[in-house]
């Protein structure tokens, strides 16, 4: 009971840490990793046990730093105690060992634990019921052109180049908007199952990596679009012309609903 209470208190302010401390590499690698180091002068069992507890605490601290959006703060009053405890159990179950070592001469241990963003028990799976509440309301983009005159290029994926904007913030909720503020893409367009498996989008620092990510999820001919601007650090603004192209290509390929989206970062 005491252990459950300790973990509960550690996790209760989940998502209240601001976006500034989010780690871009977490989203690029799809993995959160933490290290725990015990005090010296302990037996192997004591040291490894203590180091694991510290590592799990550090992992939870890192998960707190993962942004939902640049401005979203999870209000504790909006989450029931039962749902928090459920999330805690999911986090502990989802965390796996990534190595351990006992230093016999000094009697201390070092333990590594990690947790994936994707997959059953990963971060996206655990926070899915919660983050849906924080996707801002906005009108969806609809085409005003004659679709019959559009010849699709058989693009089956999207690489969104945001390298010009160093303040862009990878997050659980990144949206694509046109200049008028209409939504071309948002996480709620993706099913829970697919969101859990791949996330709503992925992130890469080179075009080669971006294409490799898409190739791995079935995209052979991605469309590459440069962003015009960003909004609130997590929303990407593109021209209305590019929005039209993405919309019409998606009508043929469903690349957005298949979460075949990669943000290209500097």
Q: Order the strands of the 183-185 sheet from edge to edge.
A: 183-185, 175-178, 235-238, 229-231
- Chain position carrying tokens 């943000």: 263
Angle at 125 between CA 134 and CA 54, to 5 degrees: 100
Q: Which of 7, 193, 199, 29 is nearest to 87 (CA)?
A: 7
Domain end: 75, 100, 134, which one?
Answer: 134
Q: For helices 81-94 and 44-64, what crossing angle results, to 10°?
A: 120
Residues 129 and 179 placed together within one structural domain of the fold: no
In the chain, the N- to C-terminal Cα span, in Å, equals 46
* Number of folded domains that form the chain: 2
Residues 14 and 47 placed together within one structural domain of the fold: yes
Residues 29 and 117 placed together within one structural domain of the fold: yes
* Mean of the per-residue pLDDT values of the chain: 79
Residues 162 and 85 placed together within one structural domain of the fold: no
pLDDT digit string (tens) for 232-246?
888 999 999 999 999
Q: Is residue 141 part of a domain?
A: no
- Chain position carrying tokens 């005159």: 149
**Exposed, middle or buried by CB within 10 Å (0-12, 13-18, 19+), for 205?**
middle
Domain end: 134, 165, 185, which one?
Answer: 134
Q: Is residue 71 part of a domain?
A: yes
Q: Is residue 142 part of a domain?
A: no
How many whole angstroms from its chain centre is CA 100?
A: 27
Q: What pLDDT is attached to residue 9?
A: 33
**CB distance 107 to 42 below 8 Å:** yes
Residues 6 and 129 placed together within one structural domain of the fold: yes
Stretch among 94-103, 203-212, 256-265 having the lowest mean pLDDT:
94-103
| Domain, as residue range, for 44 | 2-134
Q: Is residue 139 part of a domain?
A: no
Q: What pLDDT is attached to residue 29?
A: 80
Residues 176 and 250 placed together within one structural domain of the fold: yes
Of 26 and 180, more confident:
180
Stretch among 3-7, 61-65, 70-74, 95-99 having the lowest mean pLDDT:
3-7
Residues 257 and 168 placed together within one structural domain of the fold: yes
Residues 27 and 129 placed together within one structural domain of the fold: yes
In this prediction the pTM is 0.74
Q: For residue 221, what are its two tokens?
A: 């001919």
Residues 121 and 197 placed together within one structural domain of the fold: no
Domain end: 104, 134, 164, which one?
Answer: 134
Residues 91 and 196 placed together within one structural domain of the fold: no
């Amino acid at each position: 009971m005491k252990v459950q209470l300790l973990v509960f208190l550690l996790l209760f302010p989940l998502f209240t840490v601001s976006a500034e401390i989010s780690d871009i590499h977490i989203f690029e690698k799809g993995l959160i990793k933490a290290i725990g180091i015990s005090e010296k002068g302990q037996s192997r069992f004591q040291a490894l046990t203590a180091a694991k507890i510290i590592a799990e605490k550090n992992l939870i601290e890192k998960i707190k730093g993962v942004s939902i959006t640049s401005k979203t703060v999870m209000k504790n009053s909006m989450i029931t105690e039962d749902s928090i405890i459920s999330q805690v159990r999911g986090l502990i179950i989802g965390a796996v060992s990534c190595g351990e070592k006992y230093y016999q001469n000094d009697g201390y241990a070092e333990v590594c634990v990690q947790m994936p963003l994707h997959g059953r028990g990963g971060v996206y799976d655990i926070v899915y019921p919660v983050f849906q509440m924080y996707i801002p309301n906005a009108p969806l983009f609809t085409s005003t052109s004659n679709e019959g005159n559009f010849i699709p290029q058989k693009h089956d994926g999207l690489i969104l180049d945001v390298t010009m904007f160093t303040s862009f913030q990878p997050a659980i909720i990144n949206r694509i908007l046109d200049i008028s503020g209409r939504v071309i893409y948002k996480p709620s367009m993706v099913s829970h199952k697919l969101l859990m498996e791949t996330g709503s989008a992925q992130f890469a620092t080179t075009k080669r990596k971006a294409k490799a990510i898409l190739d791995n999820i079935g995209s052979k001919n991605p469309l590459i679009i440069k962003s015009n601007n960003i909004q609130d650090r997590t929303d990407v603004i593109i021209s209305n012309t590019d929005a039209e192209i993405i919309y019409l290509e998606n009508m043929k390929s469903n690349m957005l609903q298949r979460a075949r989206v990669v943000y290209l970062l500097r």
